[in-house]
Structure 1
Amino acid sequence: MFGVFGLDNDTETMHSGTITKIERQKRIKDRYNLFIDEQFAFSVHEDILIKHRLVKGTVISIDDFKVIIHAQEKQQAYLDAIRLLAVRLRSEHELKVRLKQKGYEPNISAITIERLRQEKYVDDMLFAEQLTMQRIRSQKKGRHWVKQELQHKGLQSQHIVHALEKVDEETEYRHAFDLVFKRYRTEFAEDSVKARRKAMGFLMRRGYSSSLVSRVMRDLVQAYGAANEDELDNNEGEFEEY
């Protein structure tokens, strides 16, 4: 396999020898090119250079070569994961997928995830809570929509259940009511039956439960005084759970 940091990991390309030159890369300041017996051998991160005491004159064996390559690959996977997390928070599953796309083997990804977990950079429980609150409060999505997104991100069922349990039903209701009030208030005043059908479909597609949608519709209809209870009950059964 071709190494993710520009070196063929096949042992045929590895050879023992003496480090004759160490050159700092111009484009990546914390990365160094190492030359063994005057020939370019590989490049490493500064942390690996220091940790393995790689200095001019150091004799490198084949076993040393393998250890350094493995250490560099772990370091590079870690740095790539940190850069991904700097863009936005991600679940462990999302990170594993992205690291695989970048060419890392499963064992390297597993080591990387474990290190990030220990350093508190990844926490699926916290991630599920934060994403749920963001979707509910900022985007005004319903809990069914959020549940599907959490599942898509590979979160475990206990994390999903824990996050959704923290959703306040009254907050969810107010968001749903505000959404349809702003979007359909004119239509409700003109034709409540038609407006109600459109509003119900709109809320269901955003992941609100049928019981919450029915409550919103009932309160809207009562507020406008445009339909009777029998008419409302007859229309509620036309919608299934999201």
Structure 2
Amino acid sequence: MERDARIDQLRQALADFRPGSLFDHEAEEAKAAVRKRALLFLDARARSRHELRGRLLDLEFEEAVVDDVLDDLAGVGLLDDAAFAHEWVRQRHARRGKSSRVLDRELQDKGVDSATRADALEQIDAADEEATARALAEKKARSVRTVPADRAESDKALRRIVGVLARRGFAQGMSLRIARDALDERVAQLS
């Protein structure tokens, strides 16, 4: 009985079939143009879905076609927000010395959801963050060439070191403590 029902369904599907109905040439041509541009963007660097969608819509592609292409790219693994966020955090922390707070804001600007951001930021712990801040402070402290002559010069050097850390989003208290340590070490080296 069940077999007969399946055979009837197949007969009906064959009767309803129209040549060319399985492949929509117009839709595929529209998707091809969007796909080509999307792959060029992804070839330059990895991007979040939100970021890539925005770039494609800025080029005035149809929203539905863009969404279809993004779904296709995600389906084959070329568009993955979790992998993007993880790599973004790893590279920007290691190479640029960015704090987790700044990296979180950057990922948020790129449209990455909060759970994915939190997962990616787990790779940075407090010790890593402090070590990065310390390395940046020591590098900036090396630009001090002579022992500060008075309190004003010392404060100026300290502000410059703290500024480097602040621009990368490190916490104020930690930045001030590390900057003082780095400046004290540099002054001891110069003395």
| Range class of TM-score, shorter chain | 0.7 to 0.9
Paired residue secondary structure (1:104): coil
Question: Which runs of 5 or more structure 2 residues have no equivalent in the other structure?
Answer: 1-18
Q: Deviations over 1:51-86 (max 9, x none)?
A: xxxxxxxxxx9x87x931112111221222112101
Paired residue secondary structure (1:166): coil
Instruction: Report what 2:81 is aligned to.
Output: 124
Are the counterparts in 2 of residues 188 and 196 from structure 1 also a CA contact under 8 Å? Answer: no
Instruction: Report what 1:33 is aligned to.
Output: none
Q: Please report the TM-score for the alignment, with normalisation by the length of structure 2.
A: 0.75
Which has the higher relative contact order, 1 or 2, with Cα contacts under 8 A spaced 6 or more apart? 2
Instruction: Report what 1:88 is aligned to.
Output: 45
2:160 matched to 1:198?
yes
Question: Which runs of 5 or more structure 1 residues have no equivalent in the other structure?
Answer: 1-60, 227-242
Instruction: Report what 1:4 is aligned to.
Output: none
2:57 matched to 1:105?
no
Q: Percent identity?
A: 29
Per residue, is there more strand in 1 or in 2? 1
Per residue, is there more helix in 1 or in 2? 2
Q: Deviations over 1:106-155 (max 9, x none)?
A: 11111111111111101101111111111110011122221221111111
Q: Indicate how the Cα distance of structure 1 residues 178 and 110 shifts in structure 2: closer, same or farther if over 3 A, else same.
A: same
CA RMSD across the alignment: 2.5
> What code does the residue aligned with 1:123 have?
D
> What code does the residue aligned with 2:103 have?
V
**Runs of 4+ deviating beyond 6 Å:** none
Instruction: Report what 1:216 is aligned to.
Output: 178
